[in-house]
Amino acid sequence: MTVTALTQLSEDERLFHDTVLDFAKQRIGPKVSQMDESATLDPALLPALFELGVMGIEVPEPYGGAGASFFTAILAVEALARVDPSVSVLVDVQNTLVINALLRWANDEQKLRYLPKMASEWVGSYALSEASSGSDAFALKLRAEKRGDKYVLNGRKLWITNAAESTLFVVFANVDPSLGYKGITAFIVEKTFAGFGVGKKEHKLGIRASSTCELTFDNVEVPAENVLGEVGKGYKIAIEALNEGRIGIGAQMLGLAQGAFDAALPYTRERVQFGKPIADFQGMQFHLARIAMEIEAARLMVYNAARLKDAGQPFVKEAAMAKLFASEVAERTASQCVELFGGVGFTKEYPAEKFYRDAKIGKIYEGTSNMQLVTIAKLL
């Protein structure tokens, strides 16, 4: 057996990864093409994902979760992305952004109220982005006005992942724009709150089964007890959650690259040209070797960042590096795998073209490539 970062996992980690991968191949694989065409997640997958235990990986056992590590969540995201990056990002946002924010910043009452639901039935969304605040995340305009024991939210959010499936939203709004980013506050908003709405779903290039929607807030009353963390400290929650979420996107891109390569490699051994499989040509062998090398390098970077996070060590630079590099490897690998298939790789009969479309988002969400470079440079 070739020794790779995957083969160096502990027995429990390897079993978990393989269990999730088998689930993805058996339960998600047959649905991938149809979900991509319809741009809709098969609703039957949600209860199956909760039953599998991947929707509350770090939620402590007393709250109904698995009580596992951040690294375990990363393994799930990677394994799912090898089959469908759309399902992978749903699980990623649930664990690395929403649940992580609740675990770190929610008070005891909030944890008791929400964590059991997040581990058993509720999907969550992380609502930071707006039309005017993408990379400039703190230019957000959603306003939260204090009225008695409530905050009244007015405005819009855009590009919110999982929005169509979510019941809980971690929403960032400004309680006092004159304070700039120091007025930003995080709120726990439930889908049933009056005045809250999920708007149009974006018609996307890739990860089409993953819902990306607008959120509208029309005098939405949020109880003061639903402030997450402290008033005016939402910027800290946003930054720290995104630092962790970037490792999740790195894992998604890693899994995507591996999935594309898994599909293309056997084809190079089956496709015969000039009397022998195309994989027997030295030029092709060099090509395949470089792809394999880059995927393994991305895996080591993603795993390292996740291990550092679990160990309580500084990981922000490593997370930015892992996200940046894995997204570049995913896009490059997916593109090359289309070419490895030749003409049929350009058709929807083979999975390469979908992996290629799915890969592009990796350089954009959770911080663009340029923003990762800024982070890395600051921490050198």
What is residue 257's predicted lDDT score, i.e. its pLDDT?
98
Domain assignment of residue 1, yes or no: no
Angle of helix 11-23 relative to helix 70-81, nearest 10 degrees? 40
Classify residue 342: in a domain, yes or no: yes
Closest by CA position to 161, among listed 224, 230, 92, 73: 92
d(Cα 188, Cα 327) in Å, to the nearest integer? 30
Q: What's the rounded Cα separation, in Å, for the pair 362 and 325?
A: 10
Q: Of 192, 207, 232, which residue sits at a domain end?
A: 232
Tell me, yes or no, whether 374 and 247 share the same domain: yes
Mark whether 240 and 360 lie in a shared domain. yes
* pLDDT at residue 13, rounded to an integer: 95
Note the pLDDT of residue 5: 79
* 267/373 same-domain check: yes
Percentages of the chain per state (helix, strand, coil), in multiples of 5? 60, 15, 25
pLDDT, residue 7, reads 74
Q: What's phi and psi for 168, nearest 5 deg? A: -120, 140
Q: Please, what is the Cα angle at 257 between 161 and 253, to 5 degrees?
A: 30
In a domain, 3, yes or no: no
Same domain, 146 and 37: no
CA-to-CA separations, 129 to 40, 91, 274, in angstroms, rounded: 22, 19, 53
Q: What CATH number did the domain enclosing 346 receive?
A: 1.20.140.10
| Residue 138: predicted pLDDT | 77
Q: Among positive and negative, which fits the CA dihedral 151, 157, 162, 164?
A: positive
pLDDT in tens, the chain (380 residues): 455 777 789 999 999 999 999 999 999 999 999 999 999 999 999 999 999 999 999 999 999 999 999 999 999 999 999 999 999 999 999 999 999 999 999 999 999 999 999 999 999 999 999 988 877 877 899 999 999 999 999 999 999 999 999 999 999 999 999 999 999 999 999 999 999 999 999 999 999 999 999 999 999 999 999 999 999 999 999 999 999 999 999 999 999 999 999 999 999 999 999 999 999 999 999 999 999 999 999 999 999 999 999 999 999 999 999 999 999 999 999 999 999 999 999 999 999 999 999 999 999 999 999 999 999 999 99
In a domain, 38, yes or no: yes
Question: What is the DSSP-derived secondary structure letter of residue 174?
Answer: E
- pLDDT the model gives residue 17: 97
Is residue 42 included in any domain, yes or no? yes
Contact 184, 174 (CB under 8 A): yes
- What's 117's domain CATH number? 1.10.540.10
User: How many Cβ atoms from other residues are within 10 Å of residue 120's Cβ?
Assistant: 16
Task: Note whether residue 4 is domain-resident.
Answer: no
Torsion sign (Cα): 55, 35, 125, 259 = positive
Q: Is 241 found in the same domain as 226?
A: no
The answer to whether residues 90 and 24 belong to one domain is yes
Q: Which one-letter DSSP state was computed for residue 202? A: P
Chain centroid offset of residue 268 CA: 31
Do 203 and 118 sit in the same domain of this protein?
no
Active site residue ranges: 366
Q: Are residues 220 and 305 in the same domain?
A: no
How many distinct structural domains can be found in the chain?
3
Determine contact, residues 217/196, Cβ cutoff 8 Å. Answer: yes
CATH assignment of the domain containing 131 = 2.40.110.10
User: What does DSSP assign to residue 161?
Assistant: E
* SS3 of residue 212 by DSSP: strand
Question: How far apart are the two ends of the chain, measured CA to CA in Å?
Answer: 37
Nearest in space to 213 (alpha carbons), one of 164, 249, 169, 168: 164
| Pair 346, 268: CB distance under 8 Å | no
Domain end call among 123, 142, 171: 123
Half-sphere exposure of 366 (CA within 13 A, CB side): 32
| 15, containing H or E segment | helix 11-23
Residue 5, domain member (yes or no): no
Q: Please, which residues have CB within 8 angstroms of residue 265's CB and are 6 or more apart in sequence?
A: 279, 288, 340
Which domain range does residue 15 map to?
11-123
- Show the CA angle centred on residue 358, arms to residues 8 and 163, nearest 5°: 100
H/E segment holding residue 158: strand 150-161
Q: 232, 256, 273 — which closes off a domain? A: 232
